[in-house]
Amino acid sequence: MGRIVRTHDQGMRKPEVVVVTGASAGVGRAIAREFGAHGASVVLLARSRDGLEGARQDVERLGGRALPIQTDVSEDLQVEAAAEQAEREFGPIDLWINNAMVSVLSPALRMTAAEYRRVTEVTYLGYVHGTLAALRRMVPRDQGVILQIGSALAYRSIPLQSAYCGAKHAIQGFTESLRSELIHDRSRVRLTIVQLPAVNTPQFSWIKTRMPRHPQPVPPIFQPEVIARSVYWVAHHPRREFTIGLSAVQAILGDKFVPGLLDYYLAAVGYGAQQTHESVDPERPNNLYDPLPGDYGARGAFDDRAAEYSVQAWLNRHRGWLALAGLSLAALSPFFLKSRSPHS
């Protein structure tokens, strides 16, 4: 049975209304499916008409309601219009998930100013536009959740993705500043970030690249459904930030304690780790400015190397109970030791 939220009129109850940007493929598609499986009303925002139709069918097949709206999140007026349509057709938005992104795999010196601008407009400003559209509706009601899909790359940048890493750093700064403002205003609107590891999504088949070999996520790789399950959990359990995957935790901690060492390590391995052994045409079609035709689904081409589960994410979700169990064992240990003493 799906999660139900209470409305303001007469105590009636309704399925929660969830907006997902970048919902046509990859992590966004998996998140849309997860909420659909829990009976939510899911508003699907993306540029791809084919992908949106596939996502709509997925959500409805799994038991949810779906509203696909073709939207380029880099255009604030389009995002605002989508938010208006969402509330007009489904009612007040309970949860807004910012996820849309584009990237370019290229050394910085070979990037153009236009490419930096486009990645920033979608991957950073798209989050700003979505967040503000959600806040305009949630703050007056004094309720709602905004969830940012972040990345370990928000802390530890890697070579060949300077535009994308810069955008993820910007999301982190924007979100932390805004969170303080909401606390200052005593708002009950909740803001959280989920930091991702490498994920097996179709983006590696369509991002623009200037490298000689096919792009790939930096191993270890996780399936997008791993992310979607954690996102659903975090959406309903207050957390300031939630990191998925031991590799993401290691990257964040490594940048905190040994950033200089990581600079040299990534200089040595970062180029090769982001490419397979397969040659690729650098002029292949990409989705930087326009979506590619077709429905790409949630998963990419790396099923054989992608994990279906994250032990670290499970431990992260249950850290409170685990800490309580640890304290309980520590408190009881003197009694066990005394009972085993030969002098007792």
Compute φ and ψ for 310, nearest 5 degrees.
-125, 110
Q: How are strands ordered across the β-sheet holding 241-243? A: 65-70, 41-46, 17-21, 95-98, 145-151, 190-196, 241-243
Q: How far apart are CA 299 and CA 30, in angstroms?
A: 8
Which amino acid makes up residue 306?
Answer: A
Distance between CA atoms of residues 288 and 285, nearest Å: 9
- H or E, element range at 215: strand 213-215
Instruction: Find the helix or strand (DSSP H, E) in which 243 lies.
Output: strand 241-243
Do you find a cis peptide bond into 285, omega within 30 degrees of 0? no
Beta-sheet strands, E only, within 261-326:
275-279, 306-307
The dihedral built from the CA positions of residue 121, 122, 128 and 134, taken in this order, carries a sign that is: positive
Question: Residue 15 pairs with which residues in a beta bridge?
Answer: 4
**Active site residue ranges:** 164
Residue 87, C-beta contacts closer than 8 angstroms, at least 6 positions apart: 17, 93, 137
Which helix (DSSP H) or strand (DSSP E) does residue 323 occupy? helix 319-340
